[in-house]
Amino acid sequence: MNPMQIKIEEATKQGKMGLIPYLPAGFPNREQFWKELEELDAAGVSVIEIGMPFSDPVADGPVVEKAALKCLADGINLTWILDELKKRKGQFNAALLLMGYLNPVYQYGVDKFAADCEAAGVSGLIIADIPLEESGFLKKALTPHGVSLVPLVGLNTSKERMKLYAENASGFCYFVSVLGTTGQRESLPERIKEKLAEAKEVFDIPIALGFGIKHPDQLTQFEGLMDAAVFGSALITHIENGNSSAEFMEPWI
Amino acid sequence: MNPMQIKIEEATKQGKMGLIPYLPAGFPNREQFWKELEELDAAGVSVIEIGMPFSDPVADGPVVEKAALKCLADGINLTWILDELKKRKGQFNAALLLMGYLNPVYQYGVDKFAADCEAAGVSGLIIADIPLEESGFLKKALTPHGVSLVPLVGLNTSKERMKLYAENASGFCYFVSVLGTTGQRESLPERIKEKLAEAKEVFDIPIALGFGIKHPDQLTQFEGLMDAAVFGSALITHIENGNSSAEFMEPWI
Amino acid sequence: MKKGYFGDFGGQFIPELLMPPLIELEEAMETILPSEEFQTRFTNMLKENVGRPSTITYCPNISKDLGLDLWLKREDLNHSGAHKINNTLGQGLLAKMMGKDVLLAETGAGMHGVATAVAAAMLDMKAVIYMGATDIVRQAPNVGRMKLMGAEIVSVESGTKTLKDAINEALRRWLADQETTHYCFGTAAGPHPFPTLVREFQQIISKEARQQYMDRNDGDLPDVVVACVGGGSNAIGMFHHFIPDESVKLVGVEAAGTGEPGCDDSAPLDHGTEGILHGMKTQLLQTEEGQILPSHSIAPGLDYPGVGPEHAHLQATGRGDYVTINDAQAINAFKTLSQREGIIPALESSHAVAYAIEHKEELQGKSVLICLSGRGDKDLGILDQIL
Amino acid sequence: MKKGYFGDFGGQFIPELLMPPLIELEEAMETILPSEEFQTRFTNMLKENVGRPSTITYCPNISKDLGLDLWLKREDLNHSGAHKINNTLGQGLLAKMMGKDVLLAETGAGMHGVATAVAAAMLDMKAVIYMGATDIVRQAPNVGRMKLMGAEIVSVESGTKTLKDAINEALRRWLADQETTHYCFGTAAGPHPFPTLVREFQQIISKEARQQYMDRNDGDLPDVVVACVGGGSNAIGMFHHFIPDESVKLVGVEAAGTGEPGCDDSAPLDHGTEGILHGMKTQLLQTEEGQILPSHSIAPGLDYPGVGPEHAHLQATGRGDYVTINDAQAINAFKTLSQREGIIPALESSHAVAYAIEHKEELQGKSVLICLSGRGDKDLGILDQIL
Ligand SMILES: Cc1ncc(COP(=O)(O)O)c(C=O)c1O
Ligand SMILES: Cc1ncc(COP(=O)(O)O)c(C=O)c1O
């Protein structure tokens, strides 16, 4: 079983929600980044999602985009991320997940990328601009190395498509809470419930809800329909304001 | 015989050139205008050509246009010209000629205009924008009142057209020295001679040369081919510079 | 009827020294114009360079809004963006075949200037364009286009610095340069033979539009045909083939300017008087003493105190109805057509469109075919300043 | 070949959340597009609103100057001034029949934005246009036109503030508003089915041009067919029906920018590498690490680091030749066509014209048919600044 699933299920077995914080690699700067990761890990999160920078991040909202483009300008690249993770292999309790866009991975070389992920202790990958139809070649490269390609589904994903995604999916399923880009929102649409229930039914791996999440109170309404929460923009803003990740995690623990 | 022809022939009989100065009515101002006319008359000119102002004087060069538009702005109109001339009827030795464009005369009423010319002692009219083809109605109005419609011909007037103009022409024939508008020119085109000779042959009334004339020296080459000279822009510029008409006439006498 | 006259209007009121080139032109109209060579080349140019036939367009949204059927004859789709090119290519080709090297033109909105520059470039001739200093400022995009195509622009600083004065200066230039130069007059006005010559080149508008309308309406004719009237070339082109159709009402739209009492306008047919200007006897805005009054319209191409003599005649005989539209109404039409149909009309043409809007009550259920004489790209600057 | 692919290029590399509207669009392409209702309405719109067929024009003066036969396909004569309208009316009508209310678009030169605004106005829909802040400044006339037609303009301040970034933002907006909104993509690029859909609407260019050329040349075909390549829509439209004609050389012209070493350009086919951007696998200007490079061209519509996948394929198979023209050469062509033929081309199209000028030696005696994709009125401001 993929470590991400294991970690999330550890949480749910304890009656807690799996927690999946997102930070762009190298944010807010190279050293601080690893400190934030350690704090998050110490807070007991299930999966740490690390953003790989891309010049044209079409699925990102303004907060994530700005933070990630700053890291890109600072010279953060896939080599740095994978090398540094490799150095720290085994130091994190949480499972590690890389998130990004296809082109940098494609230029890196998907086979090399898959191998290097394994070597770095990365167990999952989210590629925002790969739908089902184009995912075959990537899955083929990742699977031998035990890296899961995490499916993203959302309010407009039909049950049929969910089923196709569910076939040999592993790790967890990322349920996107809104039709839109990442970013904090005050409230989440009611109709999520129905779709979440559908996803719960279709997938036999944990369901994580992401996009627009800033506080656990937003999620009480979805109890039983989701297993984990992903939060990015809220965490980034919090850090940008000079606060620590540990602090941010308090209401979640 | 039209007084204009009489006056020009008086000059030519004395071996001199007929002189036809042009001034816009009311130039440089209402009082001064009559003083200039008196000086010109005293200098022994044959015909005094008085410009009637028009807003759109297409045949005029910049000097005449500017002077005439100033007079127009000062309120000079046909009524003033004809009234003031009437008051002075008989005071001029020179014959009087009005020059202008059709529309003001048309609005004044051509029959009334012809009658008022006679009453004012005017013996000729130049309308710059009436060619042969359109001149019938005007001639018909003028003839009973002894006012001649002076034909204008030029370098591009065919002998045939000259002949048509010559039919029952009276006063004098105005030969336009250039293809262009009024205004002083340093020299006159050589080929005038040939055309002037043609006009001399066709017309049995005096030929006056006009447009671009500023000094008698320009004309020695045309001796025998012309009977009178018309000058406007040069005279206007001279007056604008604060000099008197009498002074201007000196080289001509 | 006297040669060169439309009823009481028209004629050839110009200096004798301009008669030879006018006579030369009249002769060319009799010899060159009907020749097979001219006709073939001209027809090809209209098709292959101008893009004729220009289409007619039904306006579904405005028609619904107003309760009538609105059709547009799309002269704005012509190369260079207005009906003017029909005339400049015609005159340009004629001039070329007459052996002239230079096309001289006046321009108000700049569309005729641009169209003349196009004709000159295409025919490998030189273009000299007279344009009022005021118009140079308010129609800057067209000045840029003319210069780019190699035309010489002469800024006219005299008088009102608009179209009327540009014509004065161009006539003066023609007088001087008549041997090498053809005066490519921009509208169906001026001395004979221009009103006839320009109509000859613009009648293609109604020739096409009449057939196109019938093709799309089971052989029916429109109830009303509308065009704006500056000098009157697009209007006479739009009216010509409809004149014999008695059921078709012909409406010419003059510019009322601001419409404020005491302000200048451009509506000589509405409240002008008979007089003589620019070589023709016609209706003019003038004082009782025959001095020409300054004109005004927000549409530079309509900003003219005179009008082509055939329109004066059509009005006198009652065949044409002439109405006025003011600046604000034209701007409203400009915006309405842009927003509702995606067509940005020239401010000139907007006057014609405004007729349908302002008269919608009496036009209920009728079909109205409007000459969209040009496109409005050139006018965005004027609008920017106002809106 | 895999669905949505042209050889190795194409595909659908977009977020899952955009798949439903893409699938909906694919379905509409299979059901609505071939329907008689769609085809009739679309054909009518092309004729009656756009003014199609657009003519082909022979350029006598430049042909003589260069020693070849230069022909232009006149997409600049289309309503709104470029080929873009063929596509926006097609997509607009499709979207309308799919029940959408809003047309969303990115724009570089503003021509696609204007054409989308036209389609929206005509079809009584709303237009929302994303445009880079840099392009908003350099193509101000088009911004004015869009606003006038009631389009909402969103200024894009991210990245290079040009076309690429406008696409990013528009994709984000689409993601959010997919239920009511159709993303009216402006070029033959992006995720499947856009490259095919846009080609479908632009192939009319070569369908007409091929026949028109043959009609005027005793059934002969041109030796060379040329088009500029930004995203590639006018080029694919111009090439499509010539692809089977083996004797006809197809030349796509990319923008070399200033041409100075170390400066940005817009020529991914010339020296880009395979990668993924904006939903497609294609040739891209990118770093070795897969970060997209900023692009530059004096022609805003060519200023894009990617290219439509079918062009990458035509290049890979050798059927298409892709060359570059720099800013100075394009400006020279812009001026040459204006002055010698009276046609002011868009700066984009000027790149295609420049090909004939710069390659005149090898083209001696050949006939060259160029797609004049748009008119240059919008570009006078750019030129003013430079000249
Ligand atoms: C687009 C357009 N329409 C109309 C006119 C008015 O001229 P006319 O009355 O000769 O058609 C002009 C003149 O410049 C124009 O540019
Ligand atoms: C006139 C013109 N030509 C060409 C282009 C380039 O686009 P494409 O390569 O899709 O034809 C543009 C884009 O805006 C344009 O406006």
Residue D1 has pLDDT above 80, yes or no: no
Distance B98 CA to ligand 1 centre (A): 38
CA dist C385 to A82, A103, C138, C346, C379, Å?
58, 47, 10, 16, 10
Distance D38 CA to ligand 2 centre (A): 25
Asked if B58 lies within 8 A of C168 by C-beta distance, the reply is yes
- Mutating which of D276, D278, D280, D286 best tests the A interface, going by the most A Cβ atoms within 10 A? D276
Q: Does C375 touch chain B (CB under 8 A)?
A: no
What is the rounded average pLDDT of the residues C221-249? 98
State yes or no: cis peptide before D193, omega within 30 of 0. Answer: yes
* Average confidence score pLDDT of chain C: 97
Asked if B104 lies within 8 A of C15 by C-beta distance, the reply is no
User: Which residues of chain A are within 8 Å of residue D289 when distances are taken between CB atoms?
Assistant: 77-78, 104, 107-108
Q: Tell me the pLDDT tens digit for each residue of C8-28.
A: 999 999 999 999 999 999 999
Looking at CA atoms only, how far is residue D79 from chain C in angstroms? 6
Domain contains C5: no
Chains D and B, touching by 3 or more CB pairs within 8 angstroms: no
pLDDT at C384: 81
Which secondary structure element, helix H or strand E, spans residue D21, and what is its range?
helix D19-31
* Domain hosting residue D236, numbered range: 51-81+203-386
Q: Which of C198, C215, C247 is the last residue of a domain?
A: C198
Taking Cα atoms as reference points, which of A86, A63, A93 lies closest to residue A240?
A63
Distance C385 CA to ligand 1 centre (A): 22
Residue with tokens 């490079």, as numbered in its chain? D293
With a 6 A CB cut-off, is D232 part of the ligand 2 pocket?
A: yes
pLDDT at A122: 98
With a 6 A CB cut-off, is D73 part of the ligand 2 pocket?
A: no
CATH number of the domain encompassing residue C118: 3.40.50.1100
Q: In a 3-state reduction of DSSP, which class is residue C361?
A: helix
Q: Does D276 touch chain A (CB under 8 A)?
A: yes
Asked whether C3 and C30 are in contact (CB, 8 A), the reply is: no
Residues C367, C246, single domain; the answer is yes
Residues C126, C213, single domain; the answer is no
Domain contains C7: no
Measure the CA–CA gap between D308 and C156, rounded to whole angstroms.
50
Which secondary structure element, helix H or strand E, spans residue C71, and what is its range?
strand C69-74
- Considering every ligand atom, which ligand is closest to the CA of D185? 2
With a 6 A CB cut-off, is D231 part of the ligand 2 pocket?
A: yes
Output Rg (C-alpha) for chain A, integer angstroms.
16
Output Rg (C-alpha) for chain C, integer angstroms.
19
Atom of ligand 1 nearest to the CA of C235: 11
B150 φ/ψ angles, rounded to the nearest 5 degrees:
-75, 125
Looking at CA atoms only, how far is residue C17 from chain B in angstroms? 6
Domain contains C8: no
Asked whether C114 and C140 are in contact (CB, 8 A), the reply is: no
Distance D80 CA to ligand 2 centre (A): 13
Residue with tokens 């042959």, as numbered in its chain? B201
User: Which residues of chain D are within 8 Å of residue C124 when distances are taken between CB atoms?
Assistant: 60-61, 340
Residue C387 has pLDDT above 80, yes or no: no
| Protein residue whose Cα sits closest to atom 6 of ligand 2 | D230
Asked whether C171 and C216 are in contact (CB, 8 A), the reply is: no
Q: Which of D154, D180, D198 is the last residue of a domain?
A: D198
Domain contains D131: yes
pLDDT at C27: 98
Residue C63 has pLDDT above 70, yes or no: yes
Residues C329, C182, single domain; the answer is no
Among the partner-chain residues D14, D159, D290, the one whose CB lies closest to the CB of A129 is D14
Asked if B151 lies within 8 A of C284 by C-beta distance, the reply is no
Q: Is D98 exposed, middle or buried (0-12, 13-18, 19+ CB in 10 A)?
A: middle
Residues D33, D173, single domain; the answer is yes
Domain contains C134: yes
Asked whether C105 and C169 are in contact (CB, 8 A), the reply is: no
Q: Which amino acid is at A169?
A: A
- For chain D, the domain total comes to 2
Residue B213 has pLDDT above 90, yes or no: no
pLDDT at C382: 87
For a pLDDT cut of 70, what percent of chain A falls above it?
Answer: 98
A16: left (phi over 0), alpha (psi -120 to 50) or beta: beta
pLDDT at C70: 98
Q: In a 3-state reduction of DSSP, which class is residue D125?
A: coil
Asked whether D307 and D269 are in contact (CB, 8 A), the reply is: yes
Is domain B3-241 in CATH 3.20.20.70, yes or no? yes
Residue D109 has pLDDT above 70, yes or no: yes
Residues D216, D346, single domain; the answer is yes
Q: In a 3-state reduction of DSSP, which class is residue B175?
A: strand
Among the partner-chain residues A56, A134, A179, the one whose CB lies closest to the CB of D292 is A56
Taking Cα atoms as reference points, which of D85, D54, D337 lies closest to residue D211?
D54
Positions of A annotated as catalytic residues are 49, 60
Q: How confident is the model at residue A185 (pLDDT cuts 50, 70, 90)?
A: low
Distance B122 CA to ligand 2 centre (A): 72
Residue A218 has pLDDT above 90, yes or no: no
Identify the sign of the CA torsion C78, C80, C81, C84: negative
Residues C179, C250, single domain; the answer is no
pLDDT at A253: 85
Chains D and C, touching by 3 or more CB pairs within 8 angstroms: yes
Residues C88, C146, single domain; the answer is yes
Domain contains D312: yes
pLDDT at A183: 66
Q: How confident is the model at residue C1 (pLDDT cuts 50, 70, 90)?
A: low
pLDDT at C97: 98
Measure the CA–CA gap between D109 and D33, rounded to whole angstroms.
28
* Average confidence score pLDDT of chain A: 95
Atom of ligand 2 nearest to the CA of D234: 11
Q: Tell me the pLDDT tens digit for each residue of A159-179.
A: 999 999 999 899 999 999 988
- What is the Cα B64 distance to its own chain's centre? 13
| Protein residue whose Cα sits closest to atom 5 of ligand 1 | C301
With a 6 A CB cut-off, is D303 part of the ligand 2 pocket?
A: no
Q: Which amino acid is at D190?
A: G
Q: Are strands A47-51 and A95-100 parallel, antiparallel or unpaired?
A: parallel
CA dist B19 to B10, B46, B227, D42, Å?
11, 5, 9, 78
Q: Does C88 touch chain D (CB under 8 A)?
A: no
Positions of C annotated as catalytic residues are 59, 83
Residues D375, D343, single domain; the answer is yes
In chain C the first and final C-alpha atoms are separated, in Å, by: 49
Residues C230, C313, single domain; the answer is yes
Domain contains C277: yes
Domain contains C364: yes
Q: Tell me the pLDDT tens digit for each residue of D21-80.
A: 999 999 999 999 999 999 999 999 999 999 999 999 999 999 999 999 999 999 999 999
pLDDT at B253: 85
Instruction: For the beta carbon of residue B155, count every other beta carbon within 10 angstroms.
Output: 17
Structure tokens at C126: 């030189």
Q: Which amino acid is at C308?
A: G
For a pLDDT cut of 90, what percent of chain A falls above it?
Answer: 85
Rounded to 10 deg, the angle between the C19-31 and C84-98 helix axes is: 100
Helices (H), D248-294: 268-271
What is the rounded average pLDDT of the residues B134-145? 97
Taking Cα atoms as reference points, which of C169, C131, C158 lies closest to residue B66?
C158
Residue D387 has pLDDT above 80, yes or no: no
Residue D257 has pLDDT above 90, yes or no: yes
Q: Tell me the pLDDT tens digit for each residue of A229-239.
A: 999 999 999 99
Among the partner-chain residues B130, B151, B179, the one whose CB lies closest to the CB of C13 is B130
Q: Tell me the pLDDT tens digit for each residue of A140-154.
A: 999 999 999 999 999
Distance D83 CA to ligand 2 centre (A): 8
Identify the sign of the CA torsion A21, A25, A30, A34: positive
Residues D104, D249, single domain; the answer is no
Active site residue B49: yes
Q: How confident is the model at residue A212 (pLDDT cuts 50, 70, 90)?
A: confident
Residues for chain C: how many in total? 387
Q: Tell me the pLDDT tens digit for each residue of B148-198.
A: 999 999 999 999 999 999 998 999 999 999 887 766 666 777 788 999 999
Which of B105-114, B210-219, D223-232 has the lowest average pLDDT?
A: B210-219
Residue ranges lining ligand 1, Cβ < 6 Å? C 82, 108-109, 111-112, 187, 228-235, 301-302, 346, 348-349, 373-374
Q: What angle do CA C157, C162, C165 make, to 5 degrees?
A: 65
Residue D246 has pLDDT above 70, yes or no: yes
Q: Tell me the pLDDT tens digit for each residue of D285-317.
A: 999 999 999 999 999 999 999 999 999 999 999
Instruction: For the beta carbon of residue A253, count every other beta carbon within 10 angstroms.
Output: 11
pLDDT at B214: 85
Asked if C290 lies within 8 A of B107 by C-beta distance, the reply is yes
Q: Which amino acid is at C103?
A: L
Ligand 1 pocket mutation, candidates C85, C116, C302, C310, criterion most atoms within 8 A of CB: C302
Looking at CA atoms only, how far is residue B54 from chain C in angstroms? 6
pLDDT at D235: 98
Q: Which of D198, D224, D240 is the last residue of a domain?
A: D198
Q: Which residues on neighbouring strands pair with residue A153, listed in sequence order?
A: A175
Q: Does D64 touch chain C (CB under 8 A)?
A: no
Cα dihedral value B65, B66, B67, B71, nearest 10: 90
Q: Which amino acid is at A189?
A: P
